[in-house]
Structure 1
Amino acid sequence: MRRPRWPAVAPPVSGGVEVHGQRLLAADTHLMLDVIRAVAFESGLAVHLALTATGAPAEGARRQTRPLTDPDDWSAEWSYLTVWAAAENTDAEADPYLPRPDVHACDAGLSVYRTEPRYWLGTPPIVRSVTLTAGWPQIGLPATTAILALEPTDQPSIGNRSR
């Protein structure tokens, strides 16, 4: 039997209401994981995260997300931020919908990696909370769990806006 998954699907283009704002999920010297926002739609919930890594974790993220096209690269290994989401009666791994590429940069000799994955949870229209568990042990981010209480914020109705 296959395990349930939240698929990598883009949310509707309009009609959403922000139900959770920015929140820090995990922080360490060289790693920071945030919820940017959660937006509720009639057909589900869009959860936007941001992971920023510097130094050795950034280098690790760059290596872990590189294209695996070199047949002579025997060390080829690929990984990414793992996210599990529990809402209503479904607890499943969430596949990211990535509307823009990850950022790899070097600032004053310090490597920086940033990714802003988005996740679509096909939930009923009224969900009061979602439990997120996220981690990327290959770069030093242990699994962390947070419960997001969902209620409309003071933001107006929005669509799938970019930041």
Structure 2
Amino acid sequence: MRRPRWPATAPPVSGGVEVHGHRLLAAETHLTLDVIRTVAFESGLAVHLALTATGAPAEMAHRQTRPLTDPDDWSAEWSYLTVWATVENTDAEADPYLPRPDVHACDAGRSVYRTEPRYWLGTPPIVRSVTLTAGWPQIGLPATTAILALEPTDQPSIGTGVGDR
């Protein structure tokens, strides 16, 4: 039996209302995971996350997300932030529709990795909360669970934010 998934589908281009703003989900040594915002549409929710790693976790994230094109590299393995979302009666793994380019840089000799994946959860028009479970154990981020209470913020109606930050 196939496990349910929230597919990598982009939200509508307009008509969204921000229902949850910034929130820190997890903080570990050299790692943070944040909800940037959640936008509600008639047909679902767009959830924007940000993961920032420095030092050893950043190096591990860079290795875990590199292209696996070398057939002689037997150590090659690939992983990414795993996100599960529960809305009403649906609990499923979410695939990012816009992973945003990962940033890997050195800042004063310290390695930095940042990714801003975005997820689409096709839901009924009125949803009061979403439960997110996210983790990336391969880089040292254990699974963490948070319940986001959703209600309109003071932000005006917005689009998908595909081009915004």
TM-score, scaled to structure 1: 0.98
> What are the Cα deviations for residues 68-99 of structure 1, in whole angstroms up to 9, with x where unaligned?
00011110100000000000110000001125
CA distance in 2, matches of 1:98, 1:141: 21
- Gaps spanning 5+ residues in structure 2: where? none
Greater alpha carbon shift after TM alignment, 142-151 vs 89-98: 89-98
92-101 vs 5-14, greater mean Cα deviation: 92-101
Percent identity of paired positions between Structure 1 and Structure 2:
92
Structure 1 segments of 4 or more deviating over 2 A? none
Residue 151 (structure 2) aligns with: 151
Structure 1 residue 160: deviation in Å? 1.3
d(CA) in 2 for partners of 1:2, 1:99? 24
Q: Distance in 1 between matches of 2:105 and 2:74?
A: 25
Tell me the residue number matched to 1:44.
44
- Structure 1 CA distance, aligned partners of 2:100 and 2:34? 17
CA distance in 2, matches of 1:125, 1:10: 17
Q: CA deviation at 1:27?
A: 0.7
Partners of 2:99 and 2:115 within 8 A in 1: no
Q: Specify the alignment match of 2:109 in structure 1.
A: 109
Hey, what's the Cα distance between the residues in 1 that align with 2:56 and 2:144?
A: 20
Q: Deviations over 1:91-133 (max 9, x none)?
A: 0000011253111111111000000000000000100000000
Q: Is the 8 A contact 2:35 2:48 kept in 1?
A: yes
1:78 matched to which residue of 2?
Answer: 78
Q: Distance in 2 between matches of 1:5 and 1:115?
A: 21
- 1:81-160 matches, cutoff 5 A: 81-98=81-98, 100-160=100-160
1:29 Cα deviation (Å)?
A: 2.3
In 1, the alpha carbon distance for the partners of 2:100 and 2:86 equals 25
Match of 2:19 in 1: 19
Q: SS of 2:67's equivalent?
A: coil
